Structure 1
Amino acid sequence: MTDRPARAAARQATPFDPGPAPIQPSTWPVWLGVGVAALAARLPWSAQRALGRPLGAVLKVVLGTRRKVAARNLALCFPDMSTAERARLLDQAFTALGVALFEFARAWWGDVAPMRKGLRVEGLEHLKAAQAGGRGVIVISGHFTTLELSARLMCDYAPLAGMYRPHATSAMEWAVKRGRLRYATAMFGRDELRPALKHLKQGGLLWFAPDQDTRRGESVFVPFFGRPAYSLTSTHQLARLSGAAVVTFAHERRPDGGYTLRLSPALEDFPSNDATADTARVMAAIEAMVRAVPAQYLWIHRRFKRQPEGRGQLYK
């Protein structure tokens, strides 16, 4: 692993740059929102946590469609829970979402020193072992509300690059990419396969979350909470083409207000010759992370919107 000065020098030497900021009039509303978020990122962490909880309750009311999606996901994934238990979990998920908005803002544009207090980092030895011989490593996580902040905190210990879905608006894309490049060694759009592979072949670390239903990229149906979920085979493909190891990365916001980052041993015999089997293994690992901290998963995504032939729509 590298120390902070070495990582900072590596970032300065990296040619990845978002370029000039787009400032045409059509982007001004976005810049206003970014400005408000950047100012919110500078509030004391105690105030952000206090504001995040009621903000989550407001989001639950305002985001009616997303609330229905989240409730449906919980019903699909936890059929044995009582209605009251799922209602509590839904409330907790929106509370986590409210706090997460401040965490995202801090990760991109603020100071994360308060989050480093009480931070627990487990399994760095697994990442070091996976890197043996200069091998690249794919670091897999899921779409949790703690995702962005945890990635930034992990960059204190490992020089992560990221693969992500670019934002539709140019101003937001510029602002978020600029924010991420404060701590990540590089950021690759989901269509930038060649540079991502080059990064891995050179022994780099590449972090991403492959657990959403998307129209882009090769996908297959594999189990997720016992239901078929259309899932990207990208972990299998990247590992096969680059020779990289695959390590899973769990993260959580603890009840005491601290954070835990946890790396697991590299997946054995990965990749295999079966993209579907490998993707099922990845989704099973992410499901285990979700079961550990279900309130912190991003349930507002239509995870099961595509279903195998002959099955009805699960969302109305």
Structure 2
Amino acid sequence: MDRPRFRAYYLHPRFWLLWLGLGLLWLVSLLPYAVLMRLGRWLGALMMRLARSRRQIAARNLELCFPELSAAERLQLLRENFASTGMTFFEMAISWWWPQKRLLELGQFDGLEHLQQAQAEGQGVILMALHFTTLEMGGGLLGLRQGMYGMYRPHKNPLFDFVQRRGREQRLLGVVERDDVRGMLKLLRAGAVVWYAPDQDYGAQRSIFVPLFGVPAATVTATSKFARLGRARVIPFTQVRLADGSGYKVTVHPPLADFPSDSEEADGLRINQWIEAAIRQHPEQYLWAHRRFKTRPPGEAKLYKKRRA
């Protein structure tokens, strides 16, 4: 895709409120990192009180995925998760707008040799990410240490889409739209590294049902297909917000061996097992506000309350 260009249309009055919000976010992002994370926790607490629908979705997901926890333990996990979600807004600003040197001071890196080896052998890489609340920070930090592309879903608001793409592409070589299968395969066959997250519910049409936390989950088969058709390795990576407040640990894990297999079901199960294990290490930092189990197998009851009009 071409680099995003500013359009006079973005100055239309319909965008003025968004410009104001983005300007305030940019101004606040100049504050020290520790202050931003404290503000994030306060914002998360406010969101938990006001964002009723998202709170119900996250609480339901925790109930489905951690039935072994008591109600009090899940409530505490929910509070920590909203605090983590609040921090995401400021981490997004940091990853887009901080100078490269200042941003890199927040990162600790492990396992980069797995990417370096694949690149040395001319192998394309599907860099398998997960939707942790720290996703923007992980991509921004790793993009400064490893040239890579990102798979991208355009935002409905054209101005926000422009700002988001421009922010991300400062750290990446470029982006490819999620539906651009041909572009994705072309990059992989050329030996590129492509950042890709397969852990959300994209509906039944492109998915199969395999367990995640013991719950049948619509799981995309694209990871296997991209790996096979693009002749690429699948290398997972995670990023964790450090407990001491010093920044983030970005870990590139070993490539999935013998992947893909001859079975999409086996591949989907293997990916979901990997995702589940990664989430269990830091469940408070995962994006539980997404309706991960929205799509159900035929005949199964829906797991979330119906949204109000």
Q: Is the 8 A contact 2:234 2:256 kept in 1?
A: yes
2:122 is aligned with 1:154:
no
Residues 149, 175 of structure 2: 8 Å contact kept: yes
What is the rounded CA distance, in whole Å, between the counterparts of 2:283 and 2:253 in structure 1? Answer: 19
CA deviation digits over 1:221-274, x for unaligned, max 9?
111111111111121111111100000001101111131111111111111222
AA partner of residue 248 (structure 1): P
Displacement of 1:143? 0.5
What is aligned with 1:265?
254
User: 1:147 is aligned with what amino acid?
Assistant: L
Residue 88 and residue 44 in structure 1: after superposition, are their counterparts in 2 closer, same or farther (change >3 A)? same
Give the conservation status (yes or no) of the 8 Å contact 1:56–1:95: yes
Correspondence list, 1:15-26, <5 A: 16-21=2-7, 22-23=9-10, 24-26=12-14
* Matched residue type, 1:259: Y
Contact 1:130 1:137 in 2 (8 A): yes
Q: Is 1:56 the equivalent of 2:44?
A: yes
Figure out how many residues of one structure are paired with residues of the other and give that number: 302
Alpha-carbon displacement from aligned partner over 1:153-202 (angstroms, at most 9, x marks no partner): 11122112100211001111111001111011111111122122111111
CA distance in 2: counterparts of 1:118 and 1:38, whole angstroms: 18
Aligned-residue offset at 1:216: 8.7
The answer on 1:175 being equivalent to 2:175 is no
Question: What's 1:284 paired with?
Answer: 273
Shift of 1:110: 2.6
CA contact (8 A) 2:189 2:232 kept: yes
Asked if the contact 1:197–1:241 (Cα under 8 Å) also holds between the matched residues in 2, the reply is yes
Name the CA distance, whole Å, in 2 between partners of 1:197 and 1:307.
Answer: 30
The 3-state SS of whatever aligns with 1:134 is: coil
Counterpart CA distance in 1 for 2:289 and 2:236 is 23
Q: CA 1:118/1:102 → structure 2, altered by over 3 Å: closer, same or farther?
A: closer
Aligned residue runs from structure 1 range 13-162, under 5 A: 16-21=2-7, 22-23=9-10, 24-111=12-99, 113-114=101-102, 116-117=104-105, 119-162=107-150
Instruction: Tell me if structure 1 keeps the 8 A contact 2:203–2:295.
Output: no
Task: Select the residue among 198, 214, 219 that pairs with 1:210.
Answer: 198
CA distance in structure 1 between the aligned counterparts of 2:147 and 2:165, rounded to whole angstroms: 16
Following TM superposition, the consecutive aligned residue runs of length 4 or more in structure 1 with deviations greater than 4 angstroms are 112-115
The residue type equivalent to 1:275 in the other structure is E
Which of 210, 213, 231 is 1:225 aligned to?
A: 213
Secondary structure of 1:155's counterpart equals helix
Cα displacement string for residues 40-96 of structure 1 (whole angstroms, at most 9, x for unaligned residues): 222221221121111110010111100010000000000000111101100100111
2:144 aligned with 1:163, yes or no? no
Q: Given the alignment of the two structures, is residue 294 of structure 1 paired with residue 283 of structure 2, yes or no? A: yes
CA contact (8 A) 2:29 2:90 kept: yes
Aligned residue number for residue 303 of structure 2: 314
Offset of residue 282 of structure 1: 1.5
Question: Percent of aligned positions with the same letter in both sequences?
Answer: 43
Equivalent position SS for 2:15: helix
Cα separation, 2, equivalents of 1:273 and 1:16:
36
RMSD: 1.7
CA contact (8 A) 1:34 1:175 kept: no
Aligned counterparts of 1:195 and 1:301: Cα–Cα separation in 2: 27
Decide whether the 8 Å contact of 1:154 with 1:261 is kept in 2. yes
Give the Cα separation in 2 of the matches to 1:194 and 1:182.
24
